[in-house]
Structure 1
């Protein structure tokens, strides 16, 4: 079986076991000519899978190692009888840990743990997991998602009520459908809900927020944390200067997320009859780490200790500093893609061992929600 892949997709032992040939190309460069003789195409969000790409292909399967499917013409796949799968949830924990680290870096974790309101837009694989972590931390979580029933302790709210929260994180699917389109859902009219004491985090999709809205928020003093960008893959220098934490769409780039996404697509290929399920027995153990907090200063403030842990596990400010080197000229599409391609995959905090001298019942519950191993 010949498999064509975006070069940023992890090639796992399970994928090697089912493929006779694996051809990797830059995601934005994948074209019809690359698909000659291919049985399967595995992409990420930068490849547009449409009639133009499929016109001469004899594909039996298309998979995207992402939760979002806005880059896939699913109708064209159905018409051609091509099986399709995506990977919702594969990178959810990595994105959630990005958001929590960003909140800690912005100095807002203490207010979250004291019961501050946090607004979450979108309650899918990422949003729902983020909500559960925030509730465990002690936040009052308001959620806007017109497609999902929101259950307590989360509070179902209007978009306006969610955007009025002091911390807002965006995670809806990107679409332009007739019902509740999310493209540009935060524009100039919505920017007025943000002020000098507020934080906006967009680790979802860049076009959720307009460029004009971001400039208005920045002018009002809103703290911007952006992993995705309105003009992605380009970032203009002015917006980069206006952003407190800036990263090149790598919130979901952990080793575990990459491996999980690929193997989810391999399982889907097996279910579609492209390969035997017995080929899926090979597994890779994600690298693990031990964080020893016993030498940390005795800080009675649990929020300060937890902020240190989140930052130690993922120092998002280091990724910001790396991107910030290009602030003067802005980031071109070529540079943006290169930064993502060469990004050193990080370990997730979940599954790591945390050594500590003592732990309160509340902190033990929070660490349990973060899926760490306590020693």
Structure 2
């Protein structure tokens, strides 16, 4: 497959892709506005921070797969991709340790004022009296919002510092996650209102969704303790920055931020931000996943996704429907012969029955196969008999698809 990488990726990723028979071109300076014109002839686009808008999918007719070399896909118009039949995939979990490490690094930097102290030392100023003031982490309480892979690793590292842990209880967590919650002794509270007043530190590890954008607003910040620390290494859109600026000044809150709502979408840029420049903020340049270890792991994940796609399989797709469509499933057992399924599909087409999803697997020995076909519409009474009577069809059955609603 022909692969275009619009952001920098590791040399080992390029080497592995080429060793697996793919053609890989890296253009790390490519701007989002130029993507659509540049993608002619490419099957796969790999991005990290570069935005992929609807115009890319409208113009790049040959594009089949977009990979976000990381977890979040909010910089990609996944709806436009779905409408054009382009798979969008991500590489979740591979950078979790790196982000967790930076989260704790920001907390330590805020508590011990490491940045300001370093600036003064470099300027020739010795002020042990000023920088000898710190709360310390031992015995403090951290509220972790988002118990995915990153949140749990943050909890693990915070626990090693002697920090007590809180999180919001919610239904639907996996047994594996609940086991980790118990192992790390994370106390679950019914709501944010029950959690925030007891926290010395609040750490955000949530995706940007309609229900999380602007979550950290005046009400949220008003419930936090005076002098508490807000950490955000997830998405800048989660925080109402005007409200946070007020809380920094009026409540003495402190913040460690790796992400901001209006941060540049390129690797380098001239940029100013009142929040980033605030003296009670320690900030970094959206680098949570930017360690050598994390990038090598993500690169390996990119190779796995492209290899699988070349073999007809989708891995980590985020814009394929998570449920089955259609009204019934036909199961057709047949000899593994040319044209068998074409005749089945032709018979369905005659009654204007749309195939929503289809899989065909060959039995051991290669003599026979079984196809499962999800069909939308009511089946005529004679259809099953017609399909069963087709050449090389061994048997056919039908089952209703449960309504997910």
Question: Residue 141 and residue 238 in structure 1: after superposition, are their counterparts in 2 closer, same or farther (change >3 A)?
Answer: closer
Alignment equivalent of 2:164, drawn from 114, 132, 140: 140
Cα distance in structure 2, aligned partners of 1:202 and 1:188: 16
- Deviation at 1:62? 1.1
Listed as ranges, the matches of 1:312-331 within 5 Å are none
- Equivalence for 1:113: 138
Higher strand share: 2
Alignment equivalent of 2:204, drawn from 147, 161, 170: 170
Q: Deviations over 1:107-141 (max 9, x none)?
A: 37985333x21011111121122122223433221
Q: Give unpaired runs (5+ residues) of structure 1.
A: 277-375
Cα distance in structure 2, aligned partners of 1:240 and 1:28: 27
Question: Residue 221 and residue 136 in structure 1: after superposition, are their counterparts in 2 closer, same or farther (change >3 A)?
Answer: same
Alignment equivalent of 2:23, drawn from 9, 20, 24: 20
1:74 aligns with 2:74: no
- Deviation at 1:217? 1.9
Question: Residue 269 and residue 36 in structure 1: after superposition, are their counterparts in 2 closer, same or farther (change >3 A)?
Answer: same
Q: Which of 1 and 2 has greater Rg?
A: 2
Question: Residue 236 and residue 106 in structure 1: after superposition, are their counterparts in 2 closer, same or farther (change >3 A)?
Answer: closer
Alignment equivalent of 1:225, drawn from 243, 249, 256: 256
Contact 2:110-2:255 at 8 Å conserved across structures: no
Question: Residue 111 and residue 237 in structure 1: after superposition, are their counterparts in 2 closer, same or farther (change >3 A)?
Answer: closer
Contact 1:195-1:217 at 8 Å conserved across structures: no
Question: Does the residue aligned with 1:66 lie in a helix, a strand or coil?
Answer: coil
Contact 1:118-1:167 at 8 Å conserved across structures: yes
Q: Deviations over 1:221-240 (max 9, x none)?
A: 11111111122225424641
TM-score w.r.t. length of structure 1:
0.65
* CA-based RMSD: 2.6
Cα distance in structure 1, aligned partners of 2:64 and 2:260: 33
- Deviation at 1:148? 5.2
Alignment equivalent of 1:154, drawn from 178, 186, 189: 186
- Deviation at 1:51? 2.9
- Deviation at 1:243? 3.9
Alignment equivalent of 1:187, drawn from 217, 221, 225: 217
Question: Residue 137 and residue 27 in structure 1: after superposition, are their counterparts in 2 closer, same or farther (change >3 A)?
Answer: farther
- Equivalence for 1:359: none
Contact 2:7-2:46 at 8 Å conserved across structures: no
- Equivalence for 2:66: 62
Q: Deviations over 1:324-370 (max 9, x none)?
A: xxxxxxxxxxxxxxxxxxxxxxxxxxxxxxxxxxxxxxxxxxxxxxx
Contact 2:5-2:24 at 8 Å conserved across structures: no
Cα distance in structure 1, aligned partners of 2:31 and 2:289: 17
- Deviation at 1:274? 5.5
Contact 1:163-1:194 at 8 Å conserved across structures: yes
Question: Residue 162 and residue 251 in structure 1: after superposition, are their counterparts in 2 closer, same or farther (change >3 A)?
Answer: farther
Cα distance in structure 2, aligned partners of 1:137 and 1:184: 30
- Equivalence for 2:55: 52
- Equivalence for 2:386: none
Cα distance in structure 1, aligned partners of 2:169 and 2:38: 39
1:251 aligns with 2:283: no
Contact 1:122-1:172 at 8 Å conserved across structures: yes
Contact 1:226-1:243 at 8 Å conserved across structures: no
Cα distance in structure 1, aligned partners of 2:32 and 2:81: 19
- Deviation at 1:29? 4.2
Question: Residue 56 and residue 207 in structure 1: after superposition, are their counterparts in 2 closer, same or farther (change >3 A)?
Answer: same
Cα distance in structure 2, aligned partners of 1:64 and 1:43: 5
Contact 1:218-1:242 at 8 Å conserved across structures: no
Q: Deviations over 1:264-319 (max 9, x none)?
A: 0110111122699xxxxxxxxxxxxxxxxxxxxxxxxxxxxxxxxxxxxxxxxxxx
**In the comparison of the two structures, how many residue pairs are matched?**
270
- Deviation at 1:204? 0.9
Cα distance in structure 1, aligned partners of 2:169 and 2:16: 35
Question: Residue 255 and residue 2 in structure 1: after superposition, are their counterparts in 2 closer, same or farther (change >3 A)?
Answer: same
1:83 aligns with 2:87: yes
Q: Give unpaired runs (5+ residues) of structure 2.
A: 113-133, 265-270, 314-405
Question: Residue 86 and residue 238 in structure 1: after superposition, are their counterparts in 2 closer, same or farther (change >3 A)?
Answer: closer
